[in-house]
Chains A and B, each alone.
Chain A
Amino acid sequence: MKRHLLGAAAVAAMALLSQNAFAQAIATPGKDVSMVLLPKFLGILPFDLAHKGAEEAAKELKNPATLQFLGPTPQNSVAGQIEIVTNATTQGVKAIMLSNNSGDQIVPAAKAAQAKGIKVVTWDSPIPSSEGEDVFVAQVDFNDIGKVMADMTLNLTGPEGGEFAILSASPDAANQNSWIAGMKTALKDPKYAKLKLDEIVYGNDESEKSYTQAQALIDKYPHVKVIMAPTSVGIVAAAKALQDEKLCDKIKISGLGMPTEMLAYTKNGCAPQFALWSFVDLGYLAYYTSYLLATGALEAKEGAKFKAGRMGEYTITKDPTRAKGLRVLMGPFTVYDKNNIEAAAK
């Protein structure tokens, strides 16, 4: 009995010790940490906002090394991301912040970067297998996004339900795929029994392709009531397609979008409701996480806590949305409609 007690005490002491080991990590400003911010591709607003947030953090941390904001073109996203990760490895940067658009095809390049001591932090979109990745800075819980997408769909169809379709980004975009998976799980709830998913199509985050894909959906499914586009490019293109076809009274667009880009469509009723999180904050948090990891102040393991400037305290946890992998969860997100969009679009 006594031995058992002793054992229990030892376990408790060890637990305490490890608690201490996980004391909150705080960044020491002014260290020279060269970092690369690598979005899926260049030229769209969310990534520019993330860049802004990362720059804000860089300034706060007084990092003398310039932040490199590098990205491929949408047409060359996979090969382009691999090339940039490889060149950054050659340059011997300290951290790569990656919004992955290459599925697991980025793994060999990311592993090679890690082998040279570079921290690979994903944000916005993780590496599906989590190989070659230190930690994923997640915008919101992916299952929550799925639920919000289901809720918005039901809001727009009304209680009688109906058909809806999904217009996604590229077929291998890990984040969109897991949100859609989250939505499918949510749809199993009897509450959504009257919603019927017609098809998932892919616009590859290109305006023109998303536009024609939205048109094709409308032609193919005459009874479709909602097009759910969990991508800021797709949602605008789909809303424009609907507006051009003058179908906004019959079909609604929803999904994830930027308030500044969606203002007109929310006001004219094409897209009455959509959701998003702050990309500025996401860039800021990704930068803090990478800086802490690269300076050795933080270790990428479960339970590690750290302070990310103005955003407060975060904890690294297991990522429940992937088989393996660690994540830092940012959250929460905002649902925009005609009542709050104008303030957000400023």
Chain B
Amino acid sequence: MSALSGLKRWETLLFAVLLAVVALNGIESKYYWGVGNFVNLFQLSIEKSIVALTMTFVIIGADIDLSVASVMGLAACVMAWTFQQGAPLPLAILLALGSGVLAGLNNAFWIAYVGLPSLAVTLAGLIGYRGVARILVEDRAIGGFPEWFNTLGQQALIGPLTLSIVIFVVLFGFFAILLHASAIGRLVYVVGSNIQAARYSGVRVGLVKTAMFVGSSAVAALAGILYAARLGSVRGDTADGFELDIITTVLLGGVSIFGGKGNLVGVGLSLLVILNLRNGMGLADITGNTQNYVIGGLLILSVLIPNLYQEIQNKWKGRKQ
């Protein structure tokens, strides 16, 4: 019960921060309130937002997936390369998604069945999958995709919303139900909070972890393809370094790095905070390192505040007794 109220407190805090950021943005820039700007705000980081959803599962399961950005790059490069070799684009997209699933199976094999730590396995994946991507596309850029593909990536599909945003919304709903209202979701929490207890009570831990990592890589591959469509061309370093932004978002959303705690509502709020903050700073002509500095500071506070709060509360209780 106390854990639940703790989570609620965290989301309330995030919501308050969000309101503050939105208010500040509104005061700072007259361009903030506008449908176009809100679409841009999501669209500019939509691929990271999509991957953050599956990253939430992985981290709640007390694991980490550092290879997501490399899988995004891998999928984009597999797609671009096979397309350049003459394959029709739909086939190239299927192969790209397949490469993501394979990468996920590879991660899962070493983590779930050999028993290596996910930090090490996915770090190797981060380097290895990126290597394959760079070998395929080298240092040139591959573009010239069919018009329909670029249109899907860059133009609005439903009302002002792009395909990527629609996919994000659908996936958010799907994963929220999966995590919070299904047996599978409960298994992820059980594995994440106490893996030994999970094993003894007959949970097929290997299967849960396999699902987590294959899901993570498959969604990353999808995000990589969407990213390629948004930019209209692919190169070997596509999505390089995105993993840190993605993990940052999930942690700021109140998901415990030690597993077992957190929820998608928090991650959704965290996404909104970060995206609005970035957008507001961009419109206020604050860019580059200053943006990173502010978001880094926010992350440190997100770890500090709950701990400080706990400490103060303990002291207070101690005095009362």
A55 to B153 Cα, complex, angstroms: 37
Q: B237 near A171 (CB under 8 angstroms)?
A: yes
Q: A82-B231, A90-B283 are in contact. Are A104 and B141 (CB under 8 A)?
A: yes
**B288 contact from A72, A92, A128, Cβ within 8 A:** A72
The number of chain A residues touching the other chain, given as a range, is 20 to 34
Of all chain A residues, the one with the shortest Cβ separation from B40 is A86
A84 to B289 Cα, complex, angstroms: 13
A206 at interface, CB cutoff 8 A: no
A84 to B279 Cα, complex, angstroms: 10
A84 to B150 Cα, complex, angstroms: 21
A103 to B237 Cα, complex, angstroms: 12
User: B107-142 toward A: CB 8 Å interface, digit per residue (1/0)?
Assistant: 000000000000000000000000000000011110
Q: Which of B34, B138, B153, B285 has the most CB atoms of chain A within a 10 A radius of its CB? A: B285
A315 at interface, CB cutoff 8 A: no
B261 at interface, CB cutoff 8 A: no
Closest Cβ–Cβ distance, residue A89 to chain B (whole Å):
8
B37 at interface, CB cutoff 8 A: yes
Q: A91-B31, A104-B233, A172-B235 are in contact. Are A80 and B141 (CB under 8 A)?
A: no
Q: A90-B31, A108-B150 are in contact. Are A171 and B288 (CB under 8 A)?
A: no
Q: A105 near B139 (CB under 8 angstroms)?
A: no
A238 to B138 Cα, complex, angstroms: 23
A202 to B287 Cα, complex, angstroms: 25
Q: A68 near B232 (CB under 8 angstroms)?
A: no
Query: Which residues of B from 18 to 32 have beta carbons under 8 Å from A?
Result: 29, 31
Of all chain A residues, the one with the shortest Cβ separation from B47 is A79
Count residues on chain B whose CB falls below 8 Å from chain A CBs.
32
Of all chain A residues, the one with the shortest Cβ separation from B154 is A108
A70 at interface, CB cutoff 8 A: yes
A85 to B29 Cα, complex, angstroms: 16
Of all chain B residues, the one with the shortest Cβ separation from A76 is B241
**A42 contact from B44, B143, B288, Cβ within 8 A:** B288
Q: A91 near B154 (CB under 8 angstroms)?
A: no
Q: B279 near A87 (CB under 8 angstroms)?
A: yes
Q: B287 near A71 (CB under 8 angstroms)?
A: yes
Q: B141 near A103 (CB under 8 angstroms)?
A: yes
A202 to B140 Cα, complex, angstroms: 12
A128 to B232 Cα, complex, angstroms: 13
Closest Cβ–Cβ distance, residue A117 to chain B (whole Å):
14
Q: A83-B44, A91-B31, A171-B139 are in contact. Are A73 and B233 (CB under 8 A)?
A: no
Of all chain B residues, the one with the shortest Cβ separation from A171 is B139
User: B273-296 toward A: CB 8 Å interface, digit per residue (1/0)?
Assistant: 000001100110101110010000
Q: A90-B34, A104-B232, A108-B230 are in contact. Are A172 and B283 (CB under 8 A)?
A: no
A202 to B34 Cα, complex, angstroms: 41
Of all chain A residues, the one with the shortest Cβ separation from B141 is A103
A41 at interface, CB cutoff 8 A: yes
Closest Cβ–Cβ distance, residue B223 to chain A (whole Å):
13
A75 at interface, CB cutoff 8 A: yes
Chain A residues lying within 8 Å of B279, measured Cβ to Cβ, are: 87
A183 to B292 Cα, complex, angstroms: 38
Chain B residues lying within 8 Å of A42, measured Cβ to Cβ, are: 287-289
A197 at interface, CB cutoff 8 A: no
A26 at interface, CB cutoff 8 A: no
Q: B232 near A105 (CB under 8 angstroms)?
A: yes
Closest Cβ–Cβ distance, residue B240 to chain A (whole Å):
8
A107 at interface, CB cutoff 8 A: yes
Of all chain B residues, the one with the shortest Cβ separation from A108 is B154
Q: Which of A68, A79, A80, A91 has the most CB atoms of chain B within a 10 A radius of its CB? A: A79
Closest Cβ–Cβ distance, residue B160 to chain A (whole Å):
13
Residue pairs across A and B with Cβ atoms less than 8 A apart, 14 shown, are A42-B287, A72-B287, A73-B288, A79-B44, A80-B287, A82-B44, A87-B279, A92-B31, A105-B141, A105-B235, A107-B232, A108-B153, A108-B232, A171-B139
Interface residues of B (CB under 8 A from A): 29, 31, 34, 36-37, 40, 44, 138-141, 143, 150, 153-154, 230-233, 235-237, 241, 278-279, 282-283, 285, 287-289, 292
Interface residues of A (CB under 8 A from B): 41-43, 68, 70-73, 75-76, 78-80, 82-84, 86-87, 90-92, 103-105, 107-108, 128-129, 171-172, 202
Q: A78-B231, A107-B232 are in contact. List 10 more A-B contacts (CB 8 A).
A: A86-B40, A86-B44, A87-B282, A90-B31, A90-B37, A90-B283, A103-B235, A107-B233, A171-B138, A171-B236
